[in-house]
Structure 1
Amino acid sequence: MERIAILADEYSFEVINVPNQTQNKAEFPGYTEKLERAKSATTSDEAVVVGIATINKQALVLAVMDSFFMMGSLNTTAGARIKAGMKVALEKKLPFVIVTASGGARMQEGIYSLLQMNSILYMKQKLDDAGLLVMSLLTDPTMGGVSASFALNNDIVLAEKQAKIGFAGERVIKKTTNERLPVDFQTAEGLYSNGFVDQVIDRKNLKQVISQLLTLHA
C-alpha cells in the first residue's frame, strides 16, 4: 500500500477483487502455517494487489507485488490477479503497469506457480495485439521466474535505483561459473548499462516519470 501511495493519486486506487485462490495442493510441509504467519504480519491476504487508479489524473491498471508477504511472490493467486488486471485493461483500453518485487515462483506450489509465467505472458500478448501500453517497474528484488518472464518482457522497463534484478542468485552463479562477477552485477544500474532496462529512476521521481510516459503513449 505504501508503493501505491507513492505512485497513484490520493484515493484513486480501486481494488479489482479477485478471490484468494492459494491452496496447499502439493501438501508442502509447513506451507499452510507460513501463509497464516504472512497474513498476520502484513495487511495483505496475498503477495499481489491489482486495481484501477490514476497517476496525475491519467487512468491505468496498476498491479503491485509485495515480497514482504512472501519472497516467492509468484503463485496461483498472484497469477490470477495479474491476469484479471490485464483483462480489465483490455476491456477498458487502459495502460497496464506492474511493479515487481519477488524472489520468483513460489516453490511450495510447484508447477502451479511456474504455469503463471506463461499464462501471464499469454494475456500480455493480448494487450500487445490491442496496441495497449504495458510497462513494468522493477524494484528490489526482482528475481527468478518473475524476471525470466513478464518483468522484462514489456514495452517499457523501468527500474528503481539500486534494485537487485536477476534470475539465479549471485552465490549460485559464482559457485557454478567460478568467475569473478562485476561490481554492478544484478543491479538496476548494471542492467541499464547492458540494455536490459530502459531507465533507472530514483524513488522520489517515479510518479513524475511514469506520468510523462503515460502522457506520451496516450
Structure 2
Amino acid sequence: MLKDLFQKKKKYASVTAKQVQKDVPQGIIVKCPSCSAILYAKELEKNYKTCNKCNYHFAITSRERISYTLDNENFFEYDEDLQSCNPLEFPEYEDKLASDIEKTGLKEAVVTGEGTIDGMPLVFGIMDSRFRMASMGSVVGEKITRAIEKAIIKNYPFVLFSASGGARMQEGIYSLMQMAKTSAALKELDRQGGLFISVMTNPTTGGVTASFASLGDLNIAEPGALIGFAGRRIIEQTIRQKLPDDFQTAEFLLKHGQLDQVVHRKDMRSFLSKIIKMHALGGGHH
C-alpha cells in the first residue's frame, strides 16, 4: 500500500511539474544568457533590460533606447525613408533587406533624429542590431553623416549609440567609403566646436569601430560590451599568442585607455545629461 501511495504521489508530482511548465505563458520569464538566472520579463523591463544578478545587458531595440534616454520618448526622426539598393547586384541581398524590413519595421540599421535630455536638445542616433546585425552599408553611413551635418547646423551635441558587425560585405567598396565619409563629417563637427559622445554597445566591431565609433570627444560603453576591429581568433592566429579572457570587453578597453568610461544602462541618461550640461556651460556650442 505504501508502495502504491508513493507511486501515485510520484506520478502526481511529475504531472504538476509538466503542468506548471505548460501553464507559464511564453514571454513571462527570461533566462539570462550570462549567469542563467531566471528573470521575470516585467522585472527585466523595469531594470532597463539588464540582469539584476550579474548585470548582463540584453540587446535592446532602437525604440527602447529612445524611451530609456530621451525626455518623454520625444523624438523627431530624420531620413526615415532612406533605403539601401543593391549596387553590386549581390545575390539575394534584396530579399534579405526585405525580410529585415518586415521583421523590424525599420528601413535600415540606424535610426537618427533629434530629441531632448532634461530639456537640452541633441541629435541622436541608434544602430539597431536586429537589422543585418547593424552592419554599415551606404545608407547607414549617409544617415549618420546627415545627422552630424544637422548637429553642425543646429549647434546641437551629437550622441550616437553604436552596435555593429562592421562594414556590410554585400556593398563592398560603397560600404568601406562610409568610414571616410562619417569621419570627415565628424572632423567638421569638431572644427565647429561641436560635442560628439560615442556610446558603444554590444557588439561594436569592424569598420564601425575603426571609424566613427572611436572618434567621440567622449568614448563610453555599456558594461561587458564586445568592442574591437578584427575578431579574437584572427588576432590569435596572426600573433600566435593566447589573448586574455576579458580581451575586447568594455572593461579591458577602459583599463588600457581606449574608453573614457563604462556606464550602466540605468545611469546612461543622467550621465549624458551631465556631460551635455557641462559642454553648454563651458561655452561649447548650443
TM-score, normalisation: structure 1: 0.97
Q: Distance in 2 between matches of 1:62 and 1:30?
A: 32
Whether the 8 Å contact between 2:81 and 2:107 is mirrored in structure 1 is: no
Q: Which runs of 5+ in 2 are unaligned?
A: 1-62, 281-286
- Answer 1 or 2: which has greater helix percent: 2
The CA RMSD measured in Å over matched residues stands at 1.1
Aligned partner of residue 219 in structure 2, secondary structure: strand
Q: Distance in 1 between matches of 2:181 and 2:254?
A: 27
Instruction: State how many pairs are aligned.
Output: 218
Q: Distance in 2 between matches of 1:49 and 1:73?
A: 13
Q: Distance in 2 between matches of 1:213 and 1:16?
A: 24
CA deviation after TM superposition for structure 1 residue 187, in Å: 0.2
CA deviation after TM superposition for structure 1 residue 172, in Å: 1.7
Q: What residue in structure 2 maps to residue 164 of structure 1?
A: 226
Q: Distance in 2 between matches of 1:83 and 1:131?
A: 17
1:62-82 CA-to-partner distances (Å, cap 9, x unmatched) read: 011112111252111111111
1:145-171 CA-to-partner distances (Å, cap 9, x unmatched) read: 000011111100010011000001112
Aligned partner of residue 168 in structure 1, secondary structure: coil
Whether the 8 Å contact between 2:66 and 2:73 is mirrored in structure 1 is: no
Percent identity reads 44
Q: What residue in structure 2 maps to residue 20 of structure 1?
A: 82
Q: Which of 248, 263, 269 does residue 201 from structure 1 map onto?
A: 263
Amino acid in structure 2 at the alignment position of 1:95: P
Whether the 8 Å contact between 1:158 and 1:198 is mirrored in structure 2 is: yes
Q: What residue in structure 1 maps to residue 211 of structure 2?
A: 149
Q: Distance in 2 between matches of 1:183 and 1:171?
A: 12
Q: Which of 225, 246, 260 does residue 184 from structure 1 map onto?
A: 246
Moved more, 114-123 or 169-178: 169-178
Q: What residue in structure 2 maps to residue 99 of structure 1?
A: 161
Q: Distance in 2 between matches of 1:29 and 1:149?
A: 27
**Structure number with bigger Rg:** 2
Amino acid in structure 2 at the alignment position of 1:24: N
Q: What residue in structure 1 maps to residue 192 of structure 2?
A: 130
Whether the 8 Å contact between 1:18 and 1:84 is mirrored in structure 2 is: no
Aligned partner of residue 10 in structure 1, secondary structure: helix
Q: Which of 110, 133, 136 does residue 71 from structure 1 map onto?
A: 133
2:67 aligned with 1:5, yes or no? yes
